[in-house]
Amino acid sequence: MIGAARPHALGVNARAEINALLQAAGGLVSRRDHPDLAGSFDWLVREGRLTAVLPGVYAASEIAHTWQTRVRALGLRHRDAVLLGAGAARVSFWPDAPLDRIEAAVPSALKPQPGFFFNRRHIPAELIIERASLRYSVPALTAIDLATFACSDAIDVALRTRATTLAGMYEALRMTPHRAGNRETLQLLIDSRGEPWSAAERLSHRLLRAAHIKGWETNLPVLVGGQLFYVDIAFRRQKLAIEIDGRLHETDEDLFESDRWRQNALVADGWRVLRFTVAMLRDHPDVFISAILDALH
């Protein structure tokens, strides 16, 4: 991992030992665990071969700025820290969660570090997952920490992937009574009672409730021809399926195609299917409601 250095600057044995440590630990090494190599670490940092990810925790420079390395460095440097937010989402249920920094709960104040945000916060043990040297928040707490009125994606993804349940998120909220933003989070959970799997579905549920339309179910499992499909919004008695196309339907070709197979199977089984995009819901909510009322009547 570390290239050749000038012999008089760093001994061959020290260089080989650090290389072996990096290889064994996936590119990360802690100064605290190897105090006898302190001078060698300092030299390699000056040479640009090692990078200090956190004080006393070094990585091979080519991997030092990846989020995976920063997450692992957190566990190595602060063993009582709990990974939160997007970092916790990425290691558990949402691999593409938008991430700009590594956030962690720590028991005492820490000096700020580039690429990290330390939050002095107590996390109940029941809301922590421990794997190897990493501790991170359970999906229920992660989802409510990330979700806002402006972006409820974390709750929707957690429900869609079945990483947690609505009841689990209510419990995480109950167990963190002093958490900032709890009032807003409670409203978000109330708004999620139909367990939407996307922001578009959440909006459609809100519109149906506002119009006082009843008798609908969400994410209804339907077995057709030996295949199990989930209908976004279903009026079971009338066999009316409402399909909501969110942002992913515009970019994911596999999802676009699977939706068409699902629609064909439902129609062949006697269901009527209405499709709406998020733009239709946002810009023409009255048309959405009228179309459903017409189909029901």
18-21 LR contacts (CB < 8 Å, sep 24+): 18/44, 18/50
Question: Residue 235 carries which side chain, given as an amino acid letter?
Answer: F
- Give dist(CA 74, CA 94) in Å, integer: 19
Q: What per-residue confidence (pLDDT) applies to 9?
A: 53
Nearest to 89 by CA among 30, 129, 118: 129
The pTM for the full model equals 0.79
Q: Mapped to the 3 state alphabet, what secondary structure does 259-286 carry?
A: HHHHHHHHHHCCCEEEEEEHHHHHHCHH
Q: Could you give the angle at the alpha carbon of 104 between the alpha carbons of 74 and 67, nearest 5°?
A: 55
Per domain, the residue ranges of the chain are 1-64, 66-193, 199-296
Q: Residue holding tokens 């819901």? A: 281
- Give dist(CA 275, CA 278) in Å, integer: 10
Q: CB neighbours (10 Å) of residue 165?
A: 14
Q: What per-residue confidence (pLDDT) applies to 8?
A: 41
**CA distance to 37, 203, 233, 242, 270, per residue, from 229 (Å):** 59, 22, 12, 13, 14
* Residues in the chain where the model's pLDDT stays below 70: 1-12, 247-255
Q: Kindly report the CATH class assigned to 1-64.
A: mainly alpha
Residues in the chain: 297
- Give dist(CA 210, CA 212) in Å, integer: 5
Cβ atoms of residues 143 and 169 within 8 Å: yes
Q: What per-residue confidence (pLDDT) applies to 27?
A: 85
Task: Look up the CATH architecture of domain 199-296.
Answer: 3-Layer(aba) Sandwich (3.40)
Q: Convert 50-81 to b/e letters by CB count within 10 Å (16 or more is b).
A: bbbbbebbbbbbebbeebebbbbbbbbbbeeb
Q: In what order do the strands lie in the sheet with 217-224?
A: 217-224, 227-235, 240-245, 272-277
Token pair of 166, please?
């609505």
Token pair of 144, please?
């409510």
Q: What per-residue confidence (pLDDT) applies to 103?
A: 98
